[in-house]
Amino acid sequence: MTEKIFVDNLLSGRVALVTGGGTGITAGVARALAGAGARVVLVSRKMEHLEPAAEVIRRDGGDALPFAADVRSFEDVERAVAATVAHYGKLDIVVNGAAGNFLCPAEELSANGFGTVVDIDLKGTFNVCRAAFGELKRGGGSILNISATLQLLGTPLQLHASAAKAGVDALTRNLAVEWGGHGIRTNAIAPGPIEDTEGIKRLLPEPLKEKLRRRIPVGRFGRVADVAHLAVFLCSDAASFVNGAVIVVDGGHWLNANRLLSPEG
Ligand code: COA
C-alpha cells in the first residue's frame, strides 16, 4: 500500500488472524494490518495462496505466518488459533474474510451448493469467532467480518451468498452485544464492487462492467485500499467505541437501486 493514511505503528504489538488472507480483498486487509505494525497469520485452504501473500508482507518489512485450514472445520480453526498463540504468544484481532461464491439461479441451486456457501461464509465466521473467543477476551480484542451488499436488496443468482452474508451481519450484531462486555468489539465491512478482485473478474460478465460502473455514484469501482483503510481503523483503538457496525464501502452503489428516476436515466 503506497498511500500513507495513518500514523506509524498504529497496530504495533497486535497479532491478527486473517481468514481468506491469501487472495483478494482480505489479502489487502492483511497487508494493511501488517503495514500498520500487526503480526499476521494468514489462513485459508490452500498453502499455494498463502505462501506468496506472506512473502509480500515480509518483503515489505512485516511479519506473517501462513497456516492452511478450512474454516468449515472447527478442529482446523482451533489448530489455526493454537498455532497463532504458539508462534506469536497471543491473538488480538480476527478478520473473517474467507468466502466462496458462484452465480446460480435459485431453482437450479442444489441443497449442497447452498449449504457449501453458507458453511464457508457464515459457519466459518462463527467457527473462527468461537475458537478465538478465549484469546480475544484476554487482552480486549477486535473481530472484523467481511460482509457484502448483495443481501441488502434481492440480488439475482446470489441467493446462497446473500443468505450467508445476511447471517454474517446478524452474527456481527449479536456478538457485539454478547461479547462487548468481554472487551471484544465486533464490526463488519460490506464492500461493494471492488476492482481487480475475483468477485468482479469471475462473477461479473465483461459487458456488464461498464454498466455497473455507471451505477456507482462516485463514478469508479472501489479499490482494495478503500476497504483496507477502514479495516485498519476498525481494528485500532481509534474505533474503541465502534461495536456492532456494518459499514458499507461501495461509493453509494447499493443506494442507487433500480428506481424510476435514476441519475443516469
Ligand atoms: N453453480 C452451481 N453449483 C455449484 C457451483 C456453480 N458454479 N460451484 C459449486 N457448486 C455446488 C456443487 O455443485 C456442489 O453441490 P452438489 O454436490 O449438489 O453438486 C456444491 O456446490 C459444493 O461444490 P464443491 O466444488 O464440491 O465445493 P468446494 O468446497 O470444493 O468449493 C466453492 C465450493 C463455493 C468455494 C467453489 O465455488 C470455489 O472454489 N470457488 C472459488 C473461490 C471463491 O468462490 N472465492 C470467492 C470469490 S467472491
Buried b (16+ CB within 10 A) or exposed e, 81-103: bebbbeebeebbbbbbbbbbbee
Which residue puts its alpha carbon closest to atom 27 of ligand 1? 116
Cα 117 to middle of ligand 1, angstroms: 7
Closest atom of ligand 1 to 99 CA is 46
Rounded CA separation 232/236 (Å):
6
pLDDT category at 122 given cuts 50, 70, 90 is: very high
Measured in Å, residue 101 CA sits from the centre of ligand 1 at 7
Q: pLDDT for 256-265, tens place per residue?
A: 976 666 655 5
Instruction: Determine whether the shortest distance from the Cβ of 199 to ligand 1 is under 6 A.
Output: yes
Q: CATH number, domain at 205?
A: 3.40.50.720
265 within a domain of the structure (yes/no): no
Q: What is the extent of the structural domain holding 29?
A: 15-256
**pTM for the complete prediction?**
0.95
| pLDDT higher at 200 or 68 | 68
Residue 216 scores a pLDDT above 70? yes
How many angstroms does the Cα of residue 71 sit away from the middle of ligand 1?
15
- 112 within ligand 1 shell (Cβ under 6 A): yes
Atom from ligand 1 closest to the CA of residue 72: 29
Which residues, 6 or more positions from 139, have their beta carbon under 8 angstroms from its beta carbon? 90, 92, 183
> Which residue, judged by its Cα, is nearest atom 22 of ligand 1?
113
5, part of any domain: no
Cα separation, 252 vs 110, whole angstroms: 33
Angle between helices 24-35 and 47-59 (to 10 degrees): 30
What residue's CA is closest to ligand 1, atom 23?
113
> 15 in the Ramachandran plot: left (φ > 0), alpha (ψ -120 to 50) or beta?
beta
139 within domain boundaries: yes
User: What's the CA angle centered on 91, arms 85 and 94, to 5 degrees?
Assistant: 130
Is the per-residue pLDDT at 147 higher than 60? yes
- CA-CA distance, 83 to 16, in Å (whole number)? 12
262 belongs to a structural domain: no
In a domain, 238, yes or no: yes
The domain total for the chain is: 1
**Domain-located, residue 130:** yes
167 is a domain residue: yes
- As a whole number, the mean pLDDT across the chain is 95
Distance from C-alpha of 149 to C-alpha of 48, rounded to nearest angstrom: 29
65-118 pLDDT, tens per residue? Answer: 999 999 999 999 999 999 999 999 999 999 999 999 999 999 999 999 999 999
Q: Which three cell numbers stand for residue 92?
A: 488480538
Cα of 113 from ligand 1 centre, angstroms: 6
pLDDT digits (tens, 9 = 90+) for 70-81: 999 999 999 999
Q: Are 18 and 42 in contact (CB under 8 A)?
A: yes
147 lies in a domain? yes
